[in-house]
Amino acid sequence: MGKTMLTGDRPTGRLHVGHYVGSLRRRVELQESGGFDDIFIMIADAQALTDNADNPEKVRQNIIEVALDYLACGLDPEKSTLFIQSQVPELCELSFYYMNLVTVSRLQRNPTVKSEIQMRNFEASIPVGFFTYPISQAADITAFQATTVPVGEDQLPMLEQTKEIVRKFNSVYGDTLVEPEILLPDNQACMRLPGIDGKAKMSKSLNNCIYLSEEPEEIKQKVFSMFTDPTHIRIEDPGKLEGNTVFTYLDAFCRPEYFPEFLPDYTSLDELKSHYKRGGLGDMKVKRFLNAVLQAELEPIRKRRKEYQKDIPYVYEILRKGSEKAEKRAAETLQNVKAAMKINYFDDAELISSQAERFQNQ
Ligand code: ATP
Ligand code: MG
């Protein structure tokens, strides 16, 4: 069987460097590898509305921001189908049937949903749509018969939920859906990139992001204000790497060729780390290096984004075409699902003739 990739992002803001190392960078590599028959990249506006129901304008405004970030990172509409979730109504229909295969207590156990409920102060009154979004995510993945889902660590529980739905569906109705594999980043720092404040996750909702489209001066200011090791006060003091955001970012972004270019006194990140741990290396020097690395990584992305920004109608056209293609694929799956569930009455000539026979004899 061929390989299909499906992944996406919520249009709740511009994309940030956490998205980049957690998923976007990998998507582009996989796109360029040529190893996939189909690649679907979804802007999850319907999912974003599950916790932004009172602010549809925010979602509407951010669709183009996410699309621009995709193109800026190198997702190529000739090779990857970029589409908008709400424009593929088949996804809602699939979710509706999958809901019968999941219990309330199973959804309540989902650790990502639990922490997101807390973060949004939803404890007292959770919107049903938000509570059930892992089911809609299962619909998104299975609609495209995706084999591979490259995402950050926070998505592990969603993939588990999807696999359970696939197994349950296939065991009740017969083999119909494909069980997807999660593709996590290969580097620990990229699994869940912390925010510049040192908090566990860089997230649009937490306001601790470096955005992909950020201007050079903003990047520098954010890097210079970054959380490091609070006990590393004087340069001579030994420093800690655990929880030190600047080093976590270097783990995520640094390449060997950046040393001769920006910090020729050192040959590798390991050497820099041991000096820091020993003492005698100041935070500012490391921050200046990280700033140079991030500037080098983000400059081509920012430039490409500015090019696409000149022709916004073209970007919407890419999304419209992508949504049409995505809908075709999802409709095929929905047809198979309905046939497996025996709710394809009008396509089933045998059903109609056998019912006719049954009533003839009455
Ligand atoms: P929101 O706060 O609206 O949920 P978010 O910043 O969490 O936004 P999502 O759109 O939910 O972003 O996530 C999109 C993708 O990016 C997912 O694959 C997710 O795993 C990945 N991702 C998001 N934040 C990070 C991060 N800090 N580190 C690694 N991957 C991340
Ligand atoms: Mg999220």
Q: Could you tell me which of 52, 144, 59, 162 has the C-alpha nearest to residue 106?
A: 162
Radius of gyration of the chain (CA): 24
Give me the mean pLDDT over the 323-331 stretch.
Answer: 98
* Integer Cα distance of 19 and 207 in angstroms: 14
Residue 137: closest CA among 46, 3, 201: 46
Percent of the chain with pLDDT over 70: 100
Instruction: Write down the pLDDT at residue 121.
Output: 86
In the block, tokens 């059930």 appear at 132
Residue 122 has a pLDDT of: 87
Atom of ligand 1 nearest to the CA of 191: 29
- The tens digit of pLDDT for each residue in 90-105 reads 999 999 999 999 999 9
For ligand 1, say whether the CB of 273 is within 6 Å of any of its atoms: no
Decide: 192 in ligand 1 pocket, CB within 6 A: yes
The pLDDT, as a whole number, for residue 205 is: 76
Least distant ligand from the CA of 159: 1
Going by C-alpha positions, the residue among 161, 118, 140 that lies closest to residue 9 is 140
E strands, the chain, are 4-9, 38-43, 81-84, 148-150, 181-183
Model confidence pLDDT, tens digit, residues 218-232: 999 999 999 999 999
Using CA positions, which residue lies closest to atom 20 of ligand 1?
152
CB 135 within 8 A of CB 94: no
- The answer, as to whether pTM is greater than 0.75, is yes
% of the chain with per-residue pLDDT over 90 = 92
Q: Across residues 251-263, what is the average pLDDT?
A: 96
What are the tens digits of pLDDT across the range 67-126? 999 999 999 999 999 999 999 999 999 999 999 999 999 999 999 999 999 888 888 899
Residue 274 near residue 264 (C-beta atoms within 8 A): no
Distance from the alpha carbon of residue 113 to the mean position of ligand 2, in angstroms: 10
Q: Which pLDDT score, from 0 to 100, does residue 1 have?
A: 66
**Beta carbons within 8 Å of 114's beta carbon, 6+ residues apart:** 108
Ligand nearest to the CA of 119: 1
Element (H, E) at 321: helix 312-340
Kindly indicate the confidence band of residue 328, based on its pLDDT and cuts at 50, 70 and 90. Answer: very high
Residue 19 Cα, ligand 1 centroid: separation in angstroms?
6
pLDDT digits (tens, 9 = 90+) for 8-38: 999 999 999 999 999 999 999 999 999 999 9
pLDDT in tens, 305-321: 999 999 999 999 999 99
8 strand-pairing partners: 42
Beta bridge mates, 83:
42
Pocket test for ligand 1, best of 5, 9, 41 (most atoms within 8 A of CB): 9
How far does the centroid of ligand 1 lie from the alpha carbon of residue 10, in Å?
A: 8
> Measuring CA to CA, which residue among 341, 194, 224 is closest to residue 291?
224
Is 204's C-beta closer than 6 angstroms to any atom of ligand 1?
A: yes
